[in-house]
């Protein structure tokens, strides 16, 4: 009986270690921003994303899911992907916009908390989809901001060979648009637009030569141009979800409703 209890506790503790890692990296991101080490703060948020990606999967793998783990994961996500990026972005550039930097940072963090609360409600009611997220996941919104800070840091470094020249040329313009981008990310987080969840165990398994080649290219870009590639991947994820949603809505406008077709 004692051995059985020990195994059960181990199943709960193991995924919790990843959640604690999530909390730690989110907290370190805030401390790094205070020290004006913004690129390091961005990397800490990326590391928090990695921890967050594993805790749920490990819990399901070892059958260690618990209510405590769910609540702890939500609090960790709010710290690492709500408060940390909002604080980092405020110190990095929003403070240059004067008073208006306050509400922009707050709205991003608020929308992130609403997104997490809504996701928890769906999960508790058993309505959460395994294929799609309802609204932009908060880690992805945070990833866009964190990778932007990391990529922008290349402008002040000598690592120009490890960057996309076109993207680096656009960085000053993106810098000025960040307040609007953060507000847009907040809206996407509380929207009902579906975004791919990638929760299936086999989603990384290539099903064709084209898929395999795409994965190889993505891995190469992340290794060769880590700062810029991460930023582009996060942005493409967000934009593609919106475009697919709009495209499906546009196609559905021309289709007759069931009652209309029956009437004809």
Task: Return the pLDDT at 260.
Answer: 41
In the predicted model, what is the mean pLDDT of the chain? Answer: 83
Higher pLDDT, 212 or 110: 110
Q: What is the pLDDT of residues 45-102, one digit of tens each?
A: 999 999 998 877 776 676 656 677 778 889 999 999 999 999 999 999 999 999 999 9
If you average pLDDT over residues 147-155, what whole number do you get?
89
Q: Token pair for residue 88?
A: 């980092």
DSSP secondary structure of 179-227: HHHHHHHHHHHHS--EEE---STTTTS--SHHHHHHHHHHHHHHHHSHH
The set of residues, in sequence order, having a beta carbon less than 8 Å from that of 258 and lying 6+ positions away, is none
Check whether 256 has a pLDDT greater than 80: no
CATH number at residue 188: 1.20.120.1760
Which structural domain range is residue 203 located in? 2-253
Does residue 262 form part of some domain? no
Does residue 172 form part of some domain? yes
Does residue 112 form part of some domain? yes
Does residue 261 form part of some domain? no
The distance between the two most distant Cα atoms of the chain, rounded to a whole number of Å, is 70
- Count of structural domains within the chain: 1
pTM: 0.85
DSSP secondary structure of the chain: -HHHHHHHHHHHHHHHHHHHHHHHHHHHHHHHHHTT-HHHHHHHHHHHHHHHHHHHHHHHHHT---HHHHHHHHHHHIIIIIIHHHHHHHHHTGGGGGGGHHHHHHHHHHHHHHHHHHHHHHHHTT---SSEEES--HHHHHHHHHHHHHHHGGGGSS-GGGS-HHHHHHHHHHHHHHHHHHHHHHHHHHS--EEE---STTTTS--SHHHHHHHHHHHHHHHHSHHHHHHHHHHHHHHHHHHHHHHHHHHHHTSPPHHHHHH-
Does residue 258 form part of some domain? no
Q: What is the pLDDT of residues 1-55, one digit of tens each?
A: 455 554 555 566 677 888 999 999 999 999 999 999 999 999 999 999 999 988 7
Does residue 233 form part of some domain? yes
Higher pLDDT, 9 or 237: 237
Query: 2-16, 139-153, 219-233 — which is least confidently predicted?
Result: 2-16
The set of residues, in sequence order, having a beta carbon less than 8 Å from that of 79 and lying 6+ positions away, is 23, 26, 27
Q: What is the pLDDT of residues 111-129, one digit of tens each?
A: 999 999 988 888 777 777 7
The Cα 232–Cα 77 span in angstroms is: 22
**132-136, 151-155, 187-191, 227-231: range with highest mean pLDDT:** 187-191
Task: Return the pLDDT at 58.
Answer: 74
Does residue 205 form part of some domain? yes
If you average pLDDT over residues 195-215, what whole number do you get?
67
């Amino acid at each position: 009986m004692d051995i059985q209890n020990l195994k059960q506790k181990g199943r709960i503790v193991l995924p919790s270690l990843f959640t604690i890692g999530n909390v730690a990296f989110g907290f370190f991101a805030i401390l790094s921003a205070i020290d004006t080490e913004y690129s390091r703060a961005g990397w800490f948020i990326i590391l928090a994303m990695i921890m967050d990606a594993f805790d749920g999967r490990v819990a399901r793998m070892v059958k260690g899911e618990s209510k405590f783990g769910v609540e702890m994961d939500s609090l960790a996500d709010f710290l690492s992907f709500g408060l940390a990026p909002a604080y980092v972005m405020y110190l990095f550039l929003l403070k240059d916009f004067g008073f208006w930097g306050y509400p922009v940072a707050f709205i991003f963090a608020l929308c992130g908390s609403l997104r997490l609360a809504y996701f928890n409600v769906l999960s508790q009611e058993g309505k959460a989809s395994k294929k799609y997220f309802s609204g932009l996941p908060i880690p992805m919104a945070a990833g866009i901001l964190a990778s932007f800070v990391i990529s922008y840091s290349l402008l002040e470094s000598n690592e120009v060979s490890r960057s996309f020249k076109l993207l680096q040329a656009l960085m000053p313009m993106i810098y000025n648009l960040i307040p609007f981008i953060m507000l847009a990310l907040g809206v996407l987080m509380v929207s009902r637009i579906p975004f791919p969840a990638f929760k299936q165990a086999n989603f990384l398994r290539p099903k064709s030569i084209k898929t395999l080649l795409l994965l190889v290219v993505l891995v190469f870009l992340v290794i060769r141009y880590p700062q810029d590639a991460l930023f582009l991947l996060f942005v493409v994820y967000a934009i593609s979800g919106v475009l697919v949603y709009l495209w499906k809505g546009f196609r559905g406008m021309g289709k007759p409703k069931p009652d209309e077709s029956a009437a004809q």
